[in-house]
Amino acid sequence: MIRLNKYMADCGVGSRRSCDKIIAENRVKVNRKPVSELGYMINEFNDTVTVDGKKITPKNKNVYIILHKPKGYVTTVKDEKGRKTVMELVDVKTRVYPVGRLDYDTEGLLIMTNDGDLTYKLTHPKYEVTKKYIARVEGDITDGQLDELRRGVVIDGKKTAPAGVTLLEKNDEGCKIELAIHEGRNHQVKKMFEAIGKQVVFLKRTEMGEIRLGGLSRGKWRYLNEKELNYLKNI
């Protein structure tokens, strides 16, 4: 959500103060309904705003959403094998693209946007954006193996950076571990566990920096809120 006067300013109507004056003069409609209330909030992605009968739109409008990607979807715009893609799960007017990838059999948080600069910052290792995963592995796991993950393991001939590792649960079905990394190498989490002799049977990404999946249901998406957008702008 965004204040109507800010949205109008972003569309080039004028300064926020001059936009307030236009609103007070009852010259603005939101979804065909007159609005004269200062401080009025709108959904900048779905609401239609007109000034003096003319629709206004922001210049170079960026869209930011998060999706709870389910298993069984590929993180691409199109798939040559005809598999379902994450694009089928979102419904926005502006074309957005996945930031990074989640494997076909992995679920969890996926950011989608049309902001190329942000995509670069979130995926390039030099910005060290921490990504958190919940992994379930078969069988027992020792403290020594967890320490190996913390120190870094060799995958594809190169050692991974130190990781944050927390054992969340251990039972007859296996172990559940939270893993925090800032690299984004191909199939990295699965390969890290393979390096210590463990097989991942379930994998879910829960966080990217300060963006958290929370209670968002599988297959559902939402726009990022103002706090989350402010965080992304300051990476």
Residue extents of the structural domains in the chain: 2-55, 62-127+212-235, 130-208
Q: Does residue 121 carry a pLDDT above 90?
A: no
Question: CA-CA distance, 126 to 24, in Å (whole number)?
Answer: 47
Could you read off the pLDDT of 178-203 as tens digits, one per residue? 999 998 888 999 999 999 999 999 99
pLDDT band at 125 (very low <50, low <70, confident <90, very high): confident
Instruction: Give the residue-averaged pLDDT of 9-31.
Output: 90
pLDDT band at 225 (very low <50, low <70, confident <90, very high): very high
- Name the residue with tokens 């300060």: 210
Of the candidates 10, 47, 52, 103, the residue annotated as catalytic is 103
Question: CA-CA distance, 117 to 139, in Å (whole number)?
Answer: 42
Q: Does residue 27 carry a pLDDT above 90?
A: yes
Asked if 79 is an active-site residue, the reply is: no
CATH 3.40.50.300 for domain 2-55, yes or no, is no
Q: What integer best gives the mean pLDDT of the chain?
A: 92
CATH 3.30.70.580 for domain 62-127+212-235, yes or no, is yes
Instruction: Give the residue-averaged pLDDT of 75-88.
Output: 92
**CA distance to 22, 42, 108, 228, per residue, from 216 (Å):** 38, 22, 9, 15
Contacts 24+ apart (CB under 8 A), 27-32: 27/51, 27/52, 28/4, 30/4
- The fold adopted by the segment(s) 130-208 is Alpha-Beta Plaits (3.30.70)
Same topology, domains 2-55 and 130-208? Answer is no
